[in-house]
Structure 1
Amino acid sequence: MRGKSLFGVTIELAAEKRRAFKGAFQAHRVGSAMTSEMRASAYHVSRTEADIARIAGDSLCIAFQVKGGGLLDTGGDRVQSFKDGDMAISYSDLPYRATPGGHDEFHFRVITVPFDNELMLGGQTRDLLATRFTETAYARPFRALFNAISERHAHLANPDAEVAHIARLAIMARGRLAPGMPEVRAALRSGLRYAAEEIMARDKHQQKLTPAKVALELGISVRQLHVVFEHAELTFARTLASMRISEARRLLVERPALPVTEVAYACGFDSLATFYRLFAGAYGMAPGEFRASGSLH
């Protein structure tokens, strides 16, 4: 019912499978966009001309097949195979039919951005049939920006700006905007920052996590890495320190038997003095005092 009323799709499920069907759906607004996430038993879904006439979306859709791929038929003998981890970019009001690849559950995320000629820089989007995103040099920042927007716990300083950024990267990926446009380059910088933050979050416990190491993994120079943080709330160094302090805060409460010194080293600090100074600056008390308070608030 939600699929029919919110997304304007037709869902088909054999009668004998309906009793065992299970699923969960959630959606929230991020700036002008809507992000949705679905986990459910496998079923056939289509968007027909009648569905489009009933509920027009007029949106750019950026989808991520987390788990449970299958076949996507957009008509005219255009059938694509989607597997776990694939992404797709399309216009909402074009027909398609999706067939699951198996009987297992699927997990799917999508960001829908209402059509806005100014936001999309005049890039044509209304003829974009659903097409699998091709892995290019832009894949890492594109995926990182998608993750930041679609995950509810992510902090976005300017949601509308990030929505504009991912829309422009998506349209550029489909060949409708030039990579050298200033707005597209700004979008790429935003994606690179989120990609850098993903690396930092993953490796923050490493004491030798340097800008050079992060830049190398992203395939950019150290100078370029610092440039992508120029318009962020925090610099590279302050972002990493904040991640480490937050992790230390969690460990202090969740692992009360772990000595404060080991907490500091486990979070990537190589200097106790630095750890104590930054922790006190963030929470107004020493690590030991914070632990004694027994609170994560």
Structure 2
Amino acid sequence: MTSGTASAPVRFSTAGLPEAERIALWEDHNAQALIGLRCRSLHDTALEATEINLQLPRAHLARVLGSPHVVERPDAEIRRVPSDAVACYLTVAGDAFFYSDDGVRLLRPGQLLVCDADRPFVRGFSHGLEELAVKIPHTVWRELGAPPALPQPVVVDADAVHLRTLAALVGRALSPESAVAADVDEDAVLDLLVSAASGRAPALSAVHLRVAKTYIDDHLADPGLTAARIARGIGISERHLSRVFAAGGTSVPRHLLQRRLERARALLGAGGGTTVAEVAERCGFASAAHFSHRFRERYGLRATDVRREARAGS
């Protein structure tokens, strides 16, 4: 598995910027961080937009929120800022349209659009937008066994379990509320995108494993989280859940403990005023004593020492 927190998420917002300069600054940011676009705001209001970017070893992730506007990627912009990449947009909120040389597509929340970023297009968001974007270089796209070219954009409904997993994986990595950057399963993100774009279903057990791991990460603070509750939460039997984890060389309790300890170590290493007891509670341990025992058993270090060193370093 390729994990990716090679760089921390970077946040850019037009809030507080001079209204007359917002569009130009938004265009400059996107040209450097994601894809070069020309932008114009709808109505007579200043653009309100925020983007959280995360560069991984093989792909770039972004969460985009904005007021009503239109973006265009014409030939001149493609020549000025070529991307040599495939662009994937998963709509979270707000209807949108996508116009290219083969016609117009209307997109609803829960749909995925995959297109060649170096073919001209226009996108519009009449009621604003919230979306997750992934930019994948053409070389990586081909290495993954995807169609070598995208002569036409592909639109996929996100009702399928693998696209819900994709939304959870990307969304959690770019959550503005996240205090600690979670490891990103980059292989899973890329596999799910290629599967969706090519119309092939990923291996069912692999999908269930990713769904289960996503569910676990989203509920780590719950001390009552069990295999039975995880199975119910993702819609499979507890027996099948156990088989899925066994095929991956682990078990549900072992993986759950591992993720809790990994998150706890990240929280302790972040410094700040969080106590060991608070970290234990935030990571779903029933007691600080049980957490401290498990932490020392796993890392050969006391949680208090890790916290003390982190605070001293900061």
TM-score, structure 2 as length reference? 0.66
1:185 aligns with 2:211: no
Residue identity opposite 2:292 in structure 1 = Y
1:285 aligns with 2:302: yes
Instruction: State the secondary structure of the residue aligned to 2:203.
Output: helix
8 Å CA contact 2:90, 2:167 repeated in 1: no
Q: What is residue 236 of structure 1 aligned with on the other side?
A: 255
Q: What is residue 21 of structure 1 aligned with on the other side?
A: 47
1:205-238 residue CA offsets vs partner (Å, 9 max, x unmatched): 4333222321332344123431465389x94143
Alignment partner for residue 127 of structure 1, among 145, 151, 156? 151
CA separation of 1:131 and 1:228: change in aligned 2, threshold 3 A: farther
* Matched residue count: 274
Residue identity opposite 1:215 in structure 2 = A
Q: What is residue 113 of structure 1 aligned with on the other side?
A: 136
| Matches of 1:194 and 1:248, distance apart in 2 | 23
Instruction: State the secondary structure of the residue aligned to 2:165.
Output: helix
8 Å CA contact 1:204, 1:267 repeated in 2: yes
| Matches of 2:306 and 2:193, distance apart in 1 | 45
Residue identity opposite 2:302 in structure 1 = M
1:34-76 residue CA offsets vs partner (Å, 9 max, x unmatched): 2234444331112234433444333222223344433223354
How far off its partner does 1:199 sit?
2.0
CA separation of 1:100 and 1:296: change in aligned 2, threshold 3 A: farther
Residue identity opposite 2:169 in structure 1 = L
| Matches of 1:66 and 1:4, distance apart in 2 | 19
CA separation of 1:94 and 1:134: change in aligned 2, threshold 3 A: farther
CA separation of 1:12 and 1:142: change in aligned 2, threshold 3 A: same
Residue identity opposite 1:209 in structure 2 = L
| Matches of 2:279 and 2:83, distance apart in 1 | 50
Residue identity opposite 1:31 in structure 2 = P
Instruction: State the secondary structure of the residue aligned to 2:143.
Output: coil
| Matches of 1:244 and 1:8, distance apart in 2 | 36
1:46 aligns with 2:67: no
Q: What is residue 37 of structure 2 aligned with on the other side?
A: 9
Alignment partner for residue 199 of structure 1, among 209, 215, 219? 215
| Matches of 1:235 and 1:170, distance apart in 2 | 29
8 Å CA contact 2:42, 2:70 repeated in 1: no
Larger Rg: 1
CA separation of 1:226 and 1:80: change in aligned 2, threshold 3 A: same
Segment of structure 1 superposing worse, 113-122 or 272-281: 272-281
Instruction: State the secondary structure of the residue aligned to 1:209.
Output: coil
Q: What is residue 58 of structure 1 aligned with on the other side?
A: 84
TM-score, structure 1 as length reference? 0.69
1:269 aligns with 2:264: no
| Matches of 1:55 and 1:249, distance apart in 2 | 42
**Identical aligned residues as a percent:** 16
Instruction: State the secondary structure of the residue aligned to 1:155.
Output: coil
Unaligned stretches of 5+ residues in structure 1:
none
| Matches of 1:228 and 1:241, distance apart in 2 | 21
How far off its partner does 1:24 sit?
3.9
8 Å CA contact 1:247, 1:267 repeated in 2: no
1:138 aligns with 2:162: yes
Unaligned stretches of 5+ residues in structure 2:
1-26
Alignment partner for residue 231 of structure 2, among 206, 215, 232? 215
Instruction: State the secondary structure of the residue aligned to 2:161.
Output: coil
Instruction: State the secondary structure of the residue aligned to 1:174.
Output: helix
